[in-house]
Structure 1
Amino acid sequence: MASVDSPRGEPRSQEQRKREALERLASDNDVWVATADATGEPCLVPLAFWWDGESVWLATRDTNPTGRNLVASGRVRLSFGPTRDVVLVHGTARMLTREELPAAVGDSFAAKDGWDPREDHPSYVFFQVAPQVLQAWGTVPELAGRTLMRDGKWLV
């Protein structure tokens, strides 16, 4: 991953941030997943993920708070990378059981993460997260122009 700022300390272009955000989605192993229940109680957990070029795929138990929250609201925020080079995704999630999951998705998830939830506890389900907003920034000078996707469409 490139440095957060240019050699002269200037903010990266939106094009560069998009390119690096896509690299992070393709190469990172884990993501911070933030959800909330109906009362607003937050839940933040790290999960393994797989990026298929359009969606982020997560696997978790439908019995834990994250799974229950995703089923109930379908709303999620994902945070990739360190705090000084963050990619923040606001997305909508839909649940798929292991029987509904396309085999190619399960195989790709397992190959990337070295773990196959389909072979783990029966309460594991998959969530397909469609990004609605994607932001990428490193330092304060990059806050302007940090939104690279809105309403599921790239702005750059």
Structure 2
Amino acid sequence: MTTEAEAEATSAPTATSAPTPTPTPHPGPRTREERVADTLARLEADVDLWVASRGHLVPLSFLWDGAAVLISTPRDSRTGRALRADSRVRLALGPTRDVVMIDGTAEAVDLADLPAGTGDAFAAKTGFDPRELATSYQYFLVRPRRVQAWREADELEGRTLMRDGTWLP
């Protein structure tokens, strides 16, 4: 006969066992308004995104100001050089089942030319302050031209939320 303590000990998960994940039911496609709201919330709350330029993809921290995305990378890095040579850029946020894709143009900017407090806001949001480093960093303002967002195949239709820099109705 097994005691209650022995039963608990034998049924307790071990350090090497992991619980079996339970699939989350898909609630169905979101409306355009829900997708725009979710996209704007992600731009406000997320800290990191993926930046692609000329076939090179890197994760960078960012600041969204309501109209543009501010990123920073070492001035002489491959990404910095690529963005100065060709301003076309694609940004990606979120996991594969909650994607936000932003196509835009990156403008190299000096922090001094941005509104007061922008550097502090970038550092506060990202927990990273390029101004404190010995390496010279370049800031880029990415102005979205096209924004797409989707979670599942049922949201592929209507995934374009912004076209030519204007949010769609």
Q: Tell me if both proteins adopt one fold, taking TM over 0.5 as the criterion.
A: yes
Give 2:133's aligned residue.
Answer: 120
| Superimposed CA distance per residue, residues 52-80 of structure 1 (whole angstroms, 9 cap, x where no aligned partner) | 11100000012111111110111110000
CA 1:140–1:132: 2 relative to 1, 3 Å? same
1:62 aligns with 2:75: yes
- Structure 1 distance, partners of 2:25, 2:107, is 33
1:147 aligns with 2:165: no
1:11 aligns with 2:29: yes
Q: Equivalent of 1:35, from 16, 41, 53? A: 53
Give 1:90's aligned residue.
Answer: 103
| Superimposed CA distance per residue, residues 114-135 of structure 1 (whole angstroms, 9 cap, x where no aligned partner) | 1211121342010000000000
1:135 aligns with 2:148: yes
Q: What is the one-letter code of the residue matched to 1:76?
A: V
Aligned residues: 146
TM-score, length-scaled by structure 2: 0.82
CA 1:5–1:92: 2 relative to 1, 3 Å? farther
Deviation at 1:90, TM superposition (A): 0.1
Give 1:39's aligned residue.
Answer: none
Residue pair 2:111, 2:118 contacting (<8 A) in 1 also: no
Determine which structure has more spread, i.e. the larger CA radius of gyration.
2
Runs of 4+ more than 4 Å apart? none
Partner SS state of residue 132, structure 1: strand
| Superimposed CA distance per residue, residues 4-54 of structure 1 (whole angstroms, 9 cap, x where no aligned partner) | 953xxx211111000000000000110010001xxxxx1100000000111
Partner SS state of residue 101, structure 2: strand
- Unaligned runs of 5+ residues in structure 2 are 1-23
Deviation at 1:83, TM superposition (A): 0.7
- Unaligned runs of 5+ residues in structure 1 are 37-41
Partner SS state of residue 113, structure 2: coil
CA 1:103–1:122: 2 relative to 1, 3 Å? farther
Structure 1 vs Structure 2 CA RMSD: 1.6
1:22 aligns with 2:40: yes
TM-score, length-scaled by structure 1: 0.88
Q: Considering Cα pairs closer than 8 Å and 6+ residues apart, tell me whether 1 or 2 has the greater RCO.
A: 1
5 Å-filtered alignment, 1:104-115, equals 104-115=117-128
Partner SS state of residue 102, structure 2: strand
Percent of pairs with identical residues? 51
| Superimposed CA distance per residue, residues 73-132 of structure 1 (whole angstroms, 9 cap, x where no aligned partner) | 111100000011000000101011344343321111011111211121342010000000
